[in-house]
Amino acid sequence: MKVRKVIVILILCCYFNGFSQGNANSNPLYPANYFNNPLEIPLVLSGTFGELRSNHFHSGLDIKTEGREGLNVVASAAGYVSRIKIAHWGYGKAIYITHPNGYTSVYAHLKKFNKRIEAYIKKQQYAKESFEIQLFPSATTLPISENEIIALSGNSGGSGGPHLHFEIRDTKTEKPINPMLFGININDSKKPRINTLIGYSLSEEAHINKISKPTQISLVQLENGDLISKNIDAFGKIGFGINAYDQLDGAYNKNGLYNLEMKVNGEKMHEFNASSFSFSESKYINLLIDYERFANLKQRIQKCFVEPSNKLSLYKKSNENGYINIEDGLNYNVEIIAKDFKGNSQRITIPISGKKDSILVKDTETITPYEINRDTFNKFSLNGITVAFPKNTFYNDFYLDFEVKDSIAKVHSPTVPLHKNYTLTFDVSNYSEIEKKQLYIASINEKGRSQYETTVKKDLSFYTSTKKLGKFTLISDNVKPKIKLLNFKNEQWLTNSNSLKVKISDNESGIKSYRGEIDGAWILMEYEPKKNMLVYDLNDKTFSTAKHNLKVTVTDNVGNVATINTTFFRKK
Ligand SMILES: [Zn+2]
């Protein structure tokens, strides 16, 4: 009998392959072998912790779900449901489980919850007449046992394909922590790869090979896989940045680095470590990367120096914050080491000769009448359009490129990061009341496509609060949203159907709200904006009579309303 028990345990270990398998990577700060694999299949990742994303760092692991939805999601450890959030975007359908050891696990982009949780949520959704909802159940409302199936995996919210987003947070501070620090094992035999090295001249007289604007430095690969640059001549305060990615075993996805270090003459001068951060620091990713290069080329360069206004805690304390002062006549050896969680690494060596020289290629700044002084409030007006930037909206002083041509305002270009929102105001005193009703503020992207910006309407002016830079204008929307029945027709018997599906869309200002009613009472229609679809679960209700009216109302962002009324038959 004893032998059989051992075999069962061995099988279980293989089953939960990836989690709790040995303590090789566990960190003394965090309990090992506590959290189990939240899926019943071996762990393969498409995203790592701390990975650089648009305007944020990735706060968990993205676990592959075999390219499909509907896999069982199990509680990673026992605890209770402390939070449920359902949103059209972001985490979509998400559940938070608080554990007695001071940590909370988070499961996001779900398809649906288990019966008990689903019933609890629906009751609240019907009470609030809203699909989007946020709930904070008490510790005794929804207790969860270890490995209990809590949900089915999905693709809800801002997810670009089926997967499970899994997070571990410190319950008190809500800081997400790299789940791998809890001893989670992910096979990774591949080295990170560094693609691009950029040099930055950061003081008045500084240059790299006589160039003072950011310059790409070519690299040669050595036999052991490491990289070396040609000897460069430089002077003054300089810094470096790289583009790199890591691949794990079993997947082609390009993931983030765990650790990035820079040494100068053997001394550590910079270190980034993807261990834990606070959500309030997310915006500093725009200082960690070369924001202008990302805006222009969509390539993320991770800088190995830290500007004084960058308060990110993913950096470890280091000398001079990664700025290197090159003196005339001295030699330097710079090493940049990119590591994954397993310690696989790739290294760049950059030999530098200090040489004071005249600069041949300069980074020139265009001077405009609109000088931004980051320490003060800055406000400029032109042809009835006003921009107002609160103190510390920007990280640096610069000259704003502000123009108004053919009623289109150009508020610089999206090459400068903002720390706060600013206000953009349009004078609308020349428009009639009817015109004003249909007007909204739109941003226009590089391809000329317009997008609704939340427009606040006052009598004589409209304004929006935004972090976007670029082109803006006023656009009129007098077209109603569209509503189309998808899986049923008017006057149809629906005894054997499980759902009602309706397509809704609006090509102009976009959908602001929707409402579904059956026989005059609100019904829960789940909205999936990626599919422009509303879905009603016919099993939500018992129908005692046969003939029913479904009414769907959709309102766009300027208040145009579309309504559809249909009759269906169902008795059960
Ligand atoms: Zn994710």
| pLDDT single digits (tens) 513-552 | 999 999 999 999 999 999 999 999 999 999 999 999 999 9
Distance CA 502, CA 536 (A): 9
Position 15 confidence tier, pLDDT thresholds 50, 70, 90: very low
Q: Which of 386, 177, 134 is nearest to 278 (CA)?
A: 177
Question: What is the 449 CA–ligand 1 centroid distance (Å)?
Answer: 28
- At 429 the three-state DSSP class reads coil
Position 57 confidence tier, pLDDT thresholds 50, 70, 90: very high
Question: What is the 298 CA–ligand 1 centroid distance (Å)?
Answer: 20
From first CA to last CA, the distance across the chain in angstroms is 52
Better pLDDT: 391 or 21 = 391
Question: What is the 27 CA–ligand 1 centroid distance (Å)?
Answer: 22
Position 26 confidence tier, pLDDT thresholds 50, 70, 90: low
Inform me whether the pLDDT recorded for 23 exceeds 60: no
Inform me whether the pLDDT recorded for 1 exceeds 60: no
What is the reported pLDDT for 12? 43
Placement of tokens 């920007």 in the chain: 394
Full-model pTM:
0.92
Tokens of 136: 């904070």
At 114-140, the pLDDT tens digits run: 999 999 999 999 999 999 999 999 999
Question: What is the 420 CA–ligand 1 centroid distance (Å)?
Answer: 25
Placement of tokens 């145009």 in the chain: 560
Question: What is the 254 CA–ligand 1 centroid distance (Å)?
Answer: 14
Quick one: average pLDDT of 191-196? 96
Q: In what order do the strands lie in the sheet with 511-518?
A: 492-493, 561-569, 547-556, 511-518, 521-523
Quick one: average pLDDT of 509-514? 97
Phi and psi (nearest 5°) for 498?
Answer: -105, -20
Question: What is the 182 CA–ligand 1 centroid distance (Å)?
Answer: 18
At 205-219, the pLDDT tens digits run: 999 999 999 999 999
Tokens of 183: 């001893």
Inform me whether the pLDDT recorded for 13 exceeds 50: no
Quick one: average pLDDT of 257-267? 97
Question: What is the 164 CA–ligand 1 centroid distance (Å)?
Answer: 7
| Mean residue pLDDT across the chain | 93
Question: What is the 73 CA–ligand 1 centroid distance (Å)?
Answer: 15
Quick one: average pLDDT of 179-188? 92
Question: What is the 253 CA–ligand 1 centroid distance (Å)?
Answer: 13
- What's the residue count for the chain? 572
Distance CA 87, CA 169 (A): 20
- At 285 the three-state DSSP class reads helix
